Structure 1
Amino acid sequence: MLPLLKKEDISTSNQQLPTWALDAYQPFADTVAKKDFPCYFGIAAQKKGDLRYGFVPHDNWDDALQIINDFTKLMHTQEKAVRRGLFLFFEPEETERDLEYYRDYFWRFLQRLHEVDDIAWPAERPRDPDHFLFDYHIGGEAYFLFGNAPAYKQRITRDLGPSLVIGLQPRSIFDGLEGDKPAGTKSRGSVRDRVEKWDQLPKHPDIGHFGDHSHNEWKQYFIGDDAEPIKGGCPFHHKELKHT
């Protein structure tokens, strides 16, 4: 199992890392280092070394749970508030795959993580993805997630290299940047304007902010490569509700 890593740990001198991991990470690092990359929080975090990384082979998804739990522990034990993010890189596919393949992979992975997670979902948090206050929990921690894949051809901000890359942001890093606060509105607006410029597409219709009664956050997790809203129900099913 590969541990939770810092950017300083990811180099050809690290004998633990398979070649595919280095090949998956470098395009991500190059993209996020660009001055005009839309997410300036990501640019700053990568430059300062605040981001953390995990590498997940096709044949062992379950190790990702330990990586995420180690990241959560880091967030809870750090001496000062740092807006950290975790990026999971998955072993690249041998042949080209379409976006639906990666979307299905993404949701199957989230479902598997939930099934093997032995820490209870907080009692006060909704289990139904269609509840406007639903957010995904791992190890008892609330996370916002977003999928990135090489199959994105129009929304190029979502293409971070040759593999599926899942970004995880603890809900706590958005303290002070909530949707109903001026700082949150301003920062989101700025990032979204930059995304539209990069992608040459309007904001995806499912992009919103947490707490909006008309918004389902799960629809933001893996948006389409277009400007069409997500149709159908959420692929994720909470294990407490699956047999009721």
Structure 2
Amino acid sequence: MSDFDHVEPSRAAGPVTADDLAEGARLVVALLRQPAALAADWNRPAGTLEWSCWETAEHLADDLFSYAAQLGPQAPAAAADVPFIWRQEAPGKPWNVIYAERESGPEGLVQVLEACAALHVAMVRTAPPHARAFHLYGTTDPEGSAAMGLVELFVHAEDLALGLGLDWTAPAAICARVLQRLFPTIPPGTAPWPTLLWATGRGELAGRERLTHWKWDSTPRQ
């Protein structure tokens, strides 16, 4: 690994930004627009998830749309999820607001993901610092919302890469800032991307048991 891969998570420089979110979205969209990805079978399971790659990508798009929407109401700020109609296509499938037309194929699905990511980036970029967005893991601010979006992007990109047969590594510097913002009790001295996978129950970390339950802390930092 390069020095870049070993950025110290606890010494990440600066907050998570809208530019970080935009770059994370750009990288994931580029991953899924590769010819090998578009030609793959999106009905395969996504990594260790029970969902297919198609369902996982829809879930990711829905996450980003939802995080954007939660930053909207401010008079008063939302004290629960904004009451869109959520539906589940079958037992065990994701509960979503956002679905992509199956007839559009993987190209259309990736476009839906890109559009939802752009909405989230725009909301994070324009929301004032005092804006608040409800989440079960802690009502958050725009920076926390951006960090949550990046967790969704990066770890579900890992799930999709495993399912579609792609190579994927998230950028260490952004991962370090996300870890600093959402996982303040992470172990020191570990590479950011493997640490983010471990913190979300998707990987091993030397000297640490694999997590079977996990959550972030998205409450605003003082």
TM-score of the aligned structures, taking structure 1 as reference length: 0.30
Q: Which structure is higher in RCO with an 8 Å CA cutoff and minimum separation 6? A: 2
> Which has the larger share of strand?
1
> Which has the larger share of helix?
2
